[in-house]
Structure formats: C-alpha cells, structure tokens
Amino acid sequence: MIVLKFGGTSVANAQRIRDAARIVLDQPAPRVVVVSAAAGVTNALLEAARAAARADTERRAAAIARVHGIHAEILAGIANAQCRDEADIAIADLHAALDRDLEDITAAGELSDRFSDRVVATGEKCLSILMAATIRELGSEARPVFTDTVIATDDRHGAARPDRARTRENADRVIRPLLDAGVTVVATGFIGASAAGETTTLGRGGSDYSATLLGAALDAAEVQIWTDVPGVLSADPRTVPHALVVPEISYDEAQELAHFGAKVLHPRTIRPAVARDIPVRILSTFAPAEPGTVVTRETTSDRIKAITALRGLILLTLDVAELEDLAPAASAAFRVMHERGIEILTVSQSSSRRRMTYLIDAVGGGCPTLQAHLGEALQDSEASVSCEEHVAVLAAVGNGAASTASALSRMMAVLHRAGVKVMATHQQTSNVAMLAVVADDDVARAVNAVHDAFIRPVAERRARRQRRSELMAEAVRVG
C-alpha cells in the first residue's frame, strides 16, 4: 500500500488535478491519496472567517467568492456528467455548512480556534471530493474520506497533536475495508478530530504530516509527497536559484531541515515514518519522471547536503554574576516559556557558565512582552535579560556536519568573508547540523555564501564526472 500526498499547487486547478489523478493511477493499488486544499483556498477561508468575526460582509463575500470560483473551475473540468453532478451536490452541501459557520462566527463577534478549524477544513474536504470524482472519471473506483473520522487528536485547535493508537484503530475501521474492496481512498490532509468530535487541524502545511500519519497507521510501503519542486533541494530555490536536488537523505537530516525552515516538509512529517521505517519520497507533479529525493533510515555520506534558514525568531540572553545563580534563573526562564507555549529552538550555555542563550519562536508583543514576563519571574534573582528580535537561524544540514573540527570554523570564516555578523553558533550533539544565528536581513547573503562554499564544489565535481562519462561513451560510440 502506498500513500500519495498532493500539495496546494499540485491541485490548484482542473488541469493539475487531472495530472495528479494520472500520477495516482500509474501506481499499483492499494492506494491512499492525501490532498491539501487548492492553492490559496486555506488563506481565503481564514480571511472569510476573520471578516465574519468583524461583521465585514464585503470582505467575507469577496473571500468566499474566490473559494467558490476555484472549486467551480475544477468542477467544470470534470467531463463525465454523473461524476460531476455527484461532486457538485457534495460541494454545495459543504459550502452551505461553511456559510452557516460564518454566520455563527458573526453572531459570536469573535473567531475561536475551534470555529477557525471548522472553516478551514472545508478546503481539504472539497478537494477530496473533487479529486475522487476526477479519479472515478478516469475509470477507477475512488471515494473521499474526511479525516475528522480517522485522525484522532487532542483539542489544541490549530496545532493539534495526534493520538497514533486511536488513529490506527480508526484507519482499520474506516479506510482498510475500502482498500480491501479495491477502492482508491482520497483522504483530506491537514485535519483530524478531538475526542469530543470537533474538527481540528495539524498546523499550517500539515497535510505532509497527515500523509505519514496515515502511512504509519496503515503500514504503507512508501509515502510519496508530490509537490512543486523536484525533491528536497540543497537550499530554498527562492533564496538560491541554482540549488540542486539532494537524491538521498536520512530521517535525521530531513527532520533537521524541516525543523529549520525547509518548507517542503512540515516539521512533524518524518516522526511517524521513522517509527515504522517507511521511506518518504519527495517528487514533483511538474516532472513526475524525475527520481526526486528519498528519505530513509540510511545515512549515505558524511557531508553537508543542504542549507536552510528560519527567519523571524528571537534571541534571548540571560546573564548572571555568580555561577550558582544560573541554574535557578534558567529554570525560571524555562518555566515562563513553557507556561506561555513559547517554542524553544535551541539553548546554549556559555563556557563561563554565567550566560544562557535561547533561540525562540516569535512571540506576540515581541521583546517588550517577553521581557515583562521574564522580569516578573526573575525578580528575586540577580539575572539580567537581553532580547533581540528579527533574528534568523541558518542551518547547514548533513550527517557528520560537525564531525570535523574545522567545519564550524570554516562556516564562520565563510560568513565573516560575506560580511555577515554571527550572533551565536550551535553545534548539534546529534551531529546533523551546524547552526549560526544571524540577522533576518542577512539570511539571503549568508545562505548563498555557505551554499557556495560547501555545496557548489560537490555539484561541480558531480557535473564534471557526468560530462566525462558522457564524453567517454561518445568516444566509444564514434570509435
């Protein structure tokens, strides 16, 4: 059994959905397809929900019209009247339920996370209906499955955590019989349900995570993430236009890349695959014959494979005068961040043992709010807190990243030559990444410089080898 997940751009319109459906039918059954909402739909639904909360009927109507327009274009592309009419009725029901939810939001005068999840889930639900209809039209039995009947989560709306054991039971009950009957299941990405039966979502970009969760629940042989790039690239192509495909990476490397900003994989995607040793392949719907990237337990080589960066972070520094003051101050700071749900990306302690630095996610209110919270918690200690916003972390990812003592100092030298000020560095004990904290504004320069130093030479060697073997083959042919 394989799982194929299609992202927003891969299901953006009727033509793309047909291309995606052909990719599905090229794979042997049993198959589970996981779909995102069409590109732009999740944002439009959120905009409609926020407008509804402000009773801004004009903006709400404009956003909803965009959603209807996208779904209508896809529907119109289904030529078979029966497939189209069935889908039309189901989509109209979902659009009507959406309108009722928006009315309820306006009546409440505010947008709760619970209602936000109900509203955005409409995008994935509509797409699963449209994709199933398209596959049926191409001659293969297919059924939409809304995963608020399968993926069991807690009630953290907007960032729900799945319960793998209950999800497995649900998948066996809801999906397995369909697969056994030869039906291609088209599941909604991104959504689950709490124990109370309320629809939840797994966080933005969460459909990748849905794919591996369902893959693990159904013991898939492989999970394929079909997207708009030909695999995991050596850097974000928007920052480094000449980035190359990385043919193979390990679970650890992929996890690190996703964690430090490579949007191609949702940060939580890899965990469910690791637990059951399922290979994850990243492939392009625009170039389906390309081999893409395969992510497995295996580590192929000890070198830097990709450079990534995460912007918009905060660097928090705690200084104490006496060694013994560090532990109580650090634990008070941890408590404050935990209580406020602030995600900590890295922590490091200076060798003087009088300073801790925390790299953390942006916080509403920024440094002033954070310093106020910490000031209260640290009022009995001698610690002083400094806080810097608009900070980014650059990660050079690859197994053995830091195994040679010179790698980190080489990276520092490269950044220094590029005129990038490094605020902090960090070497992962797992040895899979070297990190440098830089200003947001320096990210493009920093990523390009490190990419040029660590990855470009390898690519050029690879290209020269390829060219030599082509020339030799040509010589043999001519001779």
**Which entry of ligand ASP, ligand ADP, Mg ion, none binds 191, CB below 5 to 8 A by partner kind?**
none
State the number of binding residues for Mg ion (CB under 5 A). 2
Nearest-approach distance from CB 7 to Mg ion, in angstroms: 5
Kindly tell me which residue out of 192, 206, 215, 279 binds ligand ASP, with binding defined by CB under 6 A. Answer: 206
Distance CA 200, CA 155 (A): 7
Nearest to 398 by CA among 270, 301, 465, 318: 301
Asked whether the CA dihedral 444, 445, 450, 455 is positive or negative, the reply is positive
Binder of ligand ASP out of 189, 215, 231, 279 (CB under 6 A): 189
Contact map string, positions 5 to 24, toward ligand ADP, x by CB under 6 A: --xxxx--------------
User: What is the C-alpha to C-alpha distance for residues 124 and 462, in angstroms, rounded to an integer?
Assistant: 41
x-or-dash pattern for Mg ion, window 3-32, by CB under 5 A?
----x-------------------------
Q: Which of 421, 391, 395 is nearest to 407 (CA)?
A: 395
| Cβ 211 to ligand ADP shortest distance, Å | 10
Beta strand 306-319 pairing with 280-284:
unpaired
Binding site partner of 228, from ligand ASP, ligand ADP, Mg ion, none, Cβ cut-off 5-8 A by kind:
ligand ADP
218 to 247: interface string for ligand ADP, x by CB under 6 A:
---------xxx--xx-xxxx---------
- 37 lies in the binding site for ligand ASP (CB under 6 A): yes
Cβ–Cβ under 8 Å, residues 205 and 266: yes
Candidate list 10, 42, 128, 167; residue touching ligand ASP; CB under 6 A = 42
Q: Alpha-carbon torsion 22, 27, 28, 34, what sign?
A: negative
- Residue 477 binds what, of ligand ASP, Mg ion, ligand ADP, none (CB under 5 to 8 Å, by partner type)? none
d(CA 437, CA 421): 9
8 binds ligand ASP per the rule CB under 6 A = yes
* Nearest distance, CB of residue 208 and Mg ion, angstroms: 6
Residues whose CB falls within 8 Å of the CB of residue 70, separated by 6 or more in sequence, listed in order: 12, 13, 38, 40, 41
**Nearest Cα to Cα of residue 46 among 117, 146, 132, 151:** 117
Provide, rounded to whole angstroms, the least separation between the CB of residue 37 and ligand ASP.
4
User: Among 162, 189, 205, 230, which residue interacts with Mg ion (rule: CB under 5 A)?
Assistant: 205
Q: Which of 247, 222, 246 is nearest to 234 (CA)?
A: 246
- For 135, phi then psi, to 5°, come to -65, -40
The CA angle 22-36-55, to the nearest 5 degrees, is 140
CB of 398 to ligand ADP, least distance (A): 12
CB 401 within 8 A of CB 436: no
Nearer to Mg ion, 205 or 292 (CB): 205
Note the residues at the interface with ligand ASP (CB under 6 A): 7-8, 36-37, 42, 123, 189-190, 204-207
Note the residues at the interface with ligand ADP (CB under 6 A): 7-10, 36, 205, 227-229, 232-233, 235-238, 262-264, 306, 308
